Amino acid sequence: MRKLFIIPTCFLLMIGCYGNEKSIEPLSTESFLIIAHRGASTYAPEHTILAYEIAQQADADYIEVDLQMTKDGELVAMHDEKVDRTTDGKGFVKEYTLDELKLLNAGRWFNNNYPSLANSEYKYLNIPTLDEIFSYFGDSVNYHIEMKSPGIYEGMEEKLVALIKKYKLIYVDEEFPKIVIESFDGRSLLKVHELEPKLPLIQLFSFKEEAALSIQDYKRLNTYASGIGVNISSVDKDFIQEVKLNGLHILLYSISSEIEMKQAINLKANGAYTNNPEMGIRVRRLLEQ
């Protein structure tokens, strides 16, 4: 049995009264959120415009975009620090200029790895920049954007916030924030919070065993984060209840099967990242009936 850590309400109120620059943007409580992990990455090469389009067509609540940064400071959608797994190139993203990176093919690997899902269109895909993604989708989708390895990319946070402002994607007083920023790197999230407190933030955790946070952790998280994202294998109902009682949302990653999706919804998490948003929407609809 877990011990429930609950920060007294008066402490949370103190944080809330600390000042506008420390106010935390709330997240949607409307329904269980389906976040398309790396786009609809079950069906198309991850982090390509096509993968995001399939997620949009499936009515995902959010598309998730992982960010890396090129040698010449361009934010690009890619999960790994190296291009090896998802392109025909080799080496670190940070060692490529954008022009060099654009020459790589970002779809053929998928056709080779998943012949039953292969599609001739995938042979011509490249790595999109965040600027291209915002320009293409505008405000027609909601975005969960993860800063990957921000410690190795100087100025990543400033570039990200500037791009979000360029496309006017900070929506306040909406039930559904247009953009949510996430990272495993708390220092980087704090930096974003200082740059733009209106952006809701998710602190990611990867727990090897049972998920656990201390009172100190909750106090710290409540100074900048709207919620946390945690690997589903580490949580149970008590932990999820504890996180919510401490004023944070909890999202679970990464779910691929219907069984796990049902589990995440029944655990009363606030949402889940899934490679198959069509499945997520279908299971959510089934359980809501």
Q: Which residues contact 49 (CB under 8 A, 6 or more apart)?
A: 125, 128, 132, 133, 136
Nearer to Ca ion, 66 or 185 (CB): 66
Tell me whether residue 249 is one of the annotated catalytic residues: no
Shortest spacing between CB 13 and ligand G3P, in angstroms? 30
Q: Which of 211, 197, 47, 179 is nearest to 122 (CA)?
A: 47
Q: Which residues contact 82 (CB under 8 A, 6 or more apart)?
A: 90, 91, 92, 93
Of the CA atoms within 13 Å of residue 267, those in its CB half-sphere come to: 26
Tell me whether residue 193 is one of the annotated catalytic residues: no
Q: Which of 271, 273, 281, 283 binds ligand G3P (CB under 6 A)?
A: 273
Residue 254 binds ligand G3P, judged by CB under 6 A: yes
Look at residue 250 and give its three-state secondary structure.
Answer: strand
**Among Ca ion, ligand G3P, none, partner that 284 touches (CB below 5 to 8 angstroms by kind):** none
Residues 223-252 that bind ligand G3P (CB under 6 A): 229
Residue 47 binds ligand G3P, judged by CB under 6 A: no
Nearer to ligand G3P, 107 or 229 (CB): 229
Indicate which residue of 47, 79, 144, 249 is catalytic.
79
Residue 157 binds Ca ion, judged by CB under 5 A: no
Q: Which of 46, 146, 185, 196 binds ligand G3P (CB under 6 A)?
A: 146
Residue 182 binds ligand G3P, judged by CB under 6 A: yes
Please give the helix or strand (H or E) that residue 69 lies within, else none: strand 62-69
Q: Which of 238, 177, 231, 133 is nearest to 33 (CA)?
A: 177
Q: Which residues of 227-259 are buried (b: 16+ CB within 10 A; e: fewer)?
A: bbbbebebbeeebbbbbbebbbbbbbbbbeeee
Question: How far apart are alpha carbons 107 and 9 in whole angstroms?
Answer: 50
For residue 81, which phi and psi values (nearest 5 degrees)?
-70, -25
Q: Which of 74, 146, 157, 185 binds Ca ion (CB under 5 A)?
A: 146
**Among ligand G3P, Ca ion, none, partner that 277 touches (CB below 5 to 8 angstroms by kind):** none
As annotated, the active-site residues are: 37, 79
- Residues interacting with Ca ion, by CB under 5 A? 66, 146
- Residues interacting with ligand G3P, by CB under 6 A? 37, 64, 66, 79, 146, 182, 204, 229, 253-254, 273
